[in-house]
Structure 1
Amino acid sequence: MHRTRAALTPRRRTTAALFAGLTAAALLLTACTGSASPAQSGATGAADANASLTVGLVLEPSSLDLRHTAGAALEQVLVDNIYEGLVTRTQDNKIVDRLAKSHEISADGLTYTFVLNDGITFHNGAKLTSADVVSSLQTAKDDKTVQGHADLAGVASITAKDDKTVVVTLTQPSQNFLFSLTGTAGLVFQKGDTTDLQAAENGTGPFTLTQWKKGDSLTFARNDKYWGTKAGVKSIVFDYIPDFTAGVNAAQSGTLDVLTAVDANLAPQLDKKFTVTKGRTTDKGTLAFNNTKAPLNDQRVREALRLAIDHKAIIEARGIGTTLYGPIPQLDPGYQDLSGTAPYDPDKAKALLKEAGQENLALTLTIPSFYGSTVPQLLTSDFKKVGVKLTVNSVEFPAWLDSVYTKHDYDLSFVLHVEPRDFGNFANPDYYFGYDNPEVQKLYAQSQTELDAKKSAQLLSQAAEIVAKDAAADWLYEDQTLTAVRPGVQGFPKDSINSRLDLRGVTVTK
């Protein structure tokens, strides 16, 4: 999904993912794994435990109720910082324990046993027990309005063995169940808590919320009673700057320690005072085809459109990103290079359109307005070369949700889908893509119940290749993010920060 760093209305997980994408697309978040950059490792002096870190972000939440509001803007800052789950994920999407100090999976893949860490308390001082975990997971499973509800559909039972042990039993093995617990479905809230989560919080994380200036900033303070390793800075200010140029100006003025979502064309302006890092994401710039609507229900037409697109030119024009010719990004299980399914070949595209009887084709691209004009202009030019007239319909995001996502009333559409492991959208005929392939659905279902992770990834890879060859959609690029970090800031996350920005380990030198 794409991101709009605003919080969105309650919806199913697939919508939340789309939203996440939306924010990411509108943003260009940071990231890059590997050795620390000079700005992060070259500073001298001890870390200042009383330091405040100011981070520039693009899209602001409209509510803090992570349980009932979708949106990457919420997950990015609240998960791991304010709220925690039994498990979480690293920047490269590896699953690690969090509130749980250990977990075991039965040989048949049906039973998950979690043992909680000692001394965990909520921010209001209440002690966390297995009853809180059971209540949180059971609520997410039973209440359709709770984010992550669909992720727990395969859960048969959730029980507390004792105060520190939680047992979850599934109806069938699920390769993605543990990963789903790293998202909103797995967050733990206090049982019976009456906190107004729209404007306040009561989590277990390393930071507490101290102030929210709507339209301006969000401030966290270190939780000195945190059960685990304490945060490296005393406070964090998330400064919301919804304009790329304004963000660069703020960074240059010295008001920011870190600027995320750096525009690639503006990045050179920050080189002297900051180190700009490039990071990996699971963000997929997706050109959706309405597979249920003529003439896009003809595989030849969809393939022709893919062949007409100069994917490398899109990367060059954006100044960032890598080519992606299939539905699975490099950080997700099942990735393979599928560039052979859509090489730039305008002549073959024209031949396929002629064969399909669509030599004078006219289509409309519906795109959220915050994405700008670069992609639509390039697509319009590429399609014109093969005889396809493209009309661009730029709309506000709520209108896109209504017409495209909900009503499926569109020809082509573009959004940035950012949620990891979301290949299941192509195995769901009811999703707005309208793609219905029984073989893909079968392979995806098998991949989810396969206990061996390597074999599961192989099944996903097979399914993804079919999707790409069917031209169920086109993937214009796999996004990357740019982040500017000033000298003295160490440990700032680099990869996947559009969906998760765990700041516990960040320090600032004196």
Structure 2
Amino acid sequence: MHRQKNTGLRSWLVFVATVVVLSLVAWLGRSWIDGSLTLPRATPSNLSTASVTVGLTDAPQSLDIRTDADTDVERALLGNVYETLVSRDENNKLVAGLAKSWTVSSDGLTYDFTLQRGVRFANGHKLDSADVVWSMQQIVKNKYQGATALAGLASVANPSPTKVTLTLAKPDPTLLRALADRAGIVYDSEWNGDYATQTAGSGPFKVDGFSKGQSVTLERNDRYWGDPAGVKTVTLKYYANGDALAKAALGGEANALFTSDANAVKQLDGQSSWKVESGTSTTKVMLALNNDTNSIFSDVQARQAIRYAIDAKSIADAAGDSAGALGGPIGPLEEGYEDLSGLFPFDQVKAAQMIAYFATGSAYFGTVELVVPTEYQSIGDTVAGYLRSVGIATNLQTFDAATVVQRIKDGQYTMALTASDADAAEFGTSDNVFRYTNGTVQDAYKSAMAATNDADYQSRMKTFAKTVSQDAAADWLYSRKTFAAAGTGVSGLPKNMTDDYLPLAKLTAK
């Protein structure tokens, strides 16, 4: 009898233990599925302790990426300190970010995102779908940078800690692209620090020091959910111009640099301790035409005559910062790109014939005020020469780049040479800085924006770009190059788009 009681007790204990284990397994399973459980991530013991100093121009004046509209702060922090729901690769293709995957409904109105697991902010706070919802609400409510890209957002919900659903009032085929930019930044809803001087992002780096107008120090984030940064510290050090940047590199102050100044990197040519590579930017060097109703370029034939009169291909071939002739408002790293450089082949005879169409010939144009930034004075001289050769009097004026941009905004120019990061949308609505209006062109843009899938969007954007180029709304000369230079032992530098997007996690140094 005693042995039977012991056997019964053991059976009962085994039963209870089994129930506990099965319950624990079930709880772990549910927690893993709904994202409330994350497993600890081991920190590799062989991480590099190297530090790299990166030379740049155009220093951020604040770390507040929510409110500061300058590209400088975005370039320093986006992809390094702050992460976005969707990300982009070296060739500007959309890839997984904080969301590892997503689906879009056939009507283009519902976007379902599945978040990465185990994500924490650099301060240790957990990042989940509630932070995504809160961040978007804050961006829209406070009109932070990126808010206009979320204007069509009807609702945002988080059915689970790893799921986010966005519902739109109407299709927006540019939404995913926007979520790879400031509209998609996920902020820490529990953090109450000073955004102007501190950060709380989830990226591979955290800010370890900030000297306004001089430097930003990035330190590896040991809590990062992805592959750890290749170096321990990156100091972004800012210089007044390209010449000062090159001198700093040659003098050993910096062991990597990024610039769009072709003359600056020429100073590194022949230096065995430096390797220079070029990439492509989304910035376009273009001749803006004042399309206002009181301007000669409100007439399409006047605009088209100018495009035939100027040898854009030769200008693109000769420019040190040219990544290739363009011909339209969409560059090779953007959706809907098509090579439109052949639409207006250089033909001054044809240009002269088109000018003769006007009753007073070239006198109809009066004196063209050509506004040019100092860095592009040689191109301005070339353009002025082409115009004069078809009888158009031209007054060339040079200013700093910021003044040229302001003159364009104020409409105080006839033609202006500018390096513009404005996308094709600038010509897609009647409310644009170039005062350009054309119903057919703007209807084509509306059609593209109504697309419910990427294939239709890209196809319609090609139609739009070709239509606006044929109408000669501007003369897009070339896509601009970016330059990345690495000193001895430094590798892993990004190449494309480094004038506005500079992810540095893959940077390594010996």
Tell me which interval the TM-score lies in, with the shorter structure as reference length. Answer: 0.7 to 0.9
Is the CA contact 2:335–2:461 (under 8 Å) kept in the aligned structure 1? Answer: yes
Q: TM-score, normalised by structure 2?
A: 0.85
Look up the SS of the partner of 1:359 in the other structure. helix
Q: Which residue of 2 aligns with 1:412?
A: 415
Is the CA contact 1:323–1:476 (under 8 Å) kept in the aligned structure 2? Answer: yes
Relative to structure 1, is the Cα distance of residues 101 and 192 closer, same or farther in structure 2, using a 3 angstrom cutoff?
Answer: same
Distance 1:199 1:389 in 2: 51
Distance 2:278 2:228 in 1: 28
Deviation at 1:449, TM superposition (A): 2.6
Is the CA contact 2:83–2:201 (under 8 Å) kept in the aligned structure 1? Answer: yes
Deviation at 1:48, TM superposition (A): 6.8
Distance 1:205 1:456 in 2: 31
Relative to structure 1, is the Cα distance of residues 389 and 198 closer, same or farther in structure 2, using a 3 angstrom cutoff?
Answer: farther
Letter in 2 for 1:331: L
1:98-139 alpha-carbon deviations (Å, 9 max, x no partner): 111222222322111122222222233222222221121122
Deviation at 1:303, TM superposition (A): 1.1
Structure 1: give runs of 5+ residues left out of the alignment. Answer: 1-46
Aligned length: 458
Q: Which residue of 1 aligns with 2:384?
A: 380
Q: Which residue of 2 aligns with 1:364?
A: 369
Q: Which residue of 2 aligns with 1:228?
A: 226
Structure 2 residue 459 is the aligned partner of structure 1 residue 458? yes
1:429-487 alpha-carbon deviations (Å, 9 max, x no partner): 11112222222222222222323423322211111111111110011211112221123
Is the CA contact 2:156–2:165 (under 8 Å) kept in the aligned structure 1? Answer: yes
Deviation at 1:397, TM superposition (A): 5.5
Distance 1:457 1:118 in 2: 32
Structure 2 residue 288 is the aligned partner of structure 1 residue 278? no
Is the CA contact 2:260–2:499 (under 8 Å) kept in the aligned structure 1? Answer: no
Deviation at 1:335, TM superposition (A): 1.7
Relative to structure 1, is the Cα distance of residues 397 and 249 closer, same or farther in structure 2, using a 3 angstrom cutoff?
Answer: closer
Distance 2:263 2:85 in 1: 40
Distance 2:171 2:300 in 1: 34
Deviation at 1:290, TM superposition (A): 1.5
1:414-442 alpha-carbon deviations (Å, 9 max, x no partner): 322235xx211111111112222222222
Distance 2:398 2:307 in 1: 21
Letter in 2 for 1:366: V
Relative to structure 1, is the Cα distance of residues 49 and 131 closer, same or farther in structure 2, using a 3 angstrom cutoff?
Answer: same
Relative to structure 1, is the Cα distance of residues 372 and 469 closer, same or farther in structure 2, using a 3 angstrom cutoff?
Answer: closer
Distance 1:239 1:396 in 2: 23
Look up the SS of the partner of 2:58 in the other structure. coil
Letter in 1 for 2:411: H
Structure 2 residue 424 is the aligned partner of structure 1 residue 423? yes
Look up the SS of the partner of 1:436 in the other structure. coil
Letter in 1 for 2:495: K
Q: Which residue of 2 aligns with 1:247?
A: 245
Distance 2:50 2:361 in 1: 63
Is the CA contact 1:426–1:467 (under 8 Å) kept in the aligned structure 2? Answer: yes
Distance 1:266 1:403 in 2: 27
Q: Which residue of 2 aligns with 1:199?
A: 197
Q: Which residue of 336, 339, 362 maps to 2:338?
A: 336
Larger Rg: 2
Distance 1:245 1:203 in 2: 33
Q: Which residue of 1 aligns with 2:349?
A: 347
Q: Percent same amino acid among aligned pairs?
A: 36
Look up the SS of the partner of 2:246 in the other structure. helix
Letter in 2 for 1:388: I
Deviation at 1:498, TM superposition (A): 1.5
Relative to structure 1, is the Cα distance of residues 359 and 429 closer, same or farther in structure 2, using a 3 angstrom cutoff?
Answer: same
Is the CA contact 1:262–1:484 (under 8 Å) kept in the aligned structure 2? Answer: no
Deviation at 1:291, TM superposition (A): 1.3
Is the CA contact 1:156–1:170 (under 8 Å) kept in the aligned structure 2? Answer: yes
Distance 1:262 1:250 in 2: 16
Structure 2: give runs of 5+ residues left out of the alignment. Answer: 1-45
Is the CA contact 2:56–2:259 (under 8 Å) kept in the aligned structure 1? Answer: yes
Distance 1:330 1:476 in 2: 13
Distance 1:190 1:434 in 2: 41
Letter in 2 for 1:99: L
Deviation at 1:57, TM superposition (A): 0.8
Deviation at 1:182, TM superposition (A): 0.5
1:349-407 alpha-carbon deviations (Å, 9 max, x no partner): 222122123413312133455x44222222222211112222234445565555432x4
Moved over 6 A (4+): none
Distance 2:321 2:240 in 1: 20
Q: Which residue of 2 aligns with 1:24?
A: none
Q: Which residue of 148, 151, 173 maps to 1:150?
A: 148
Q: Point out the more displaced range, 90-99 or 119-128.
A: 119-128
Structure 2 residue 56 is the aligned partner of structure 1 residue 57? yes
Is the CA contact 2:111–2:165 (under 8 Å) kept in the aligned structure 1? Answer: yes
Look up the SS of the partner of 2:207 in the other structure. strand
Q: TM-score, normalised by structure 1?
A: 0.85
Deviation at 1:209, TM superposition (A): 0.9
Deviation at 1:268, TM superposition (A): 4.5
Distance 2:164 2:460 in 1: 31
Look up the SS of the partner of 1:260 in the other structure. strand
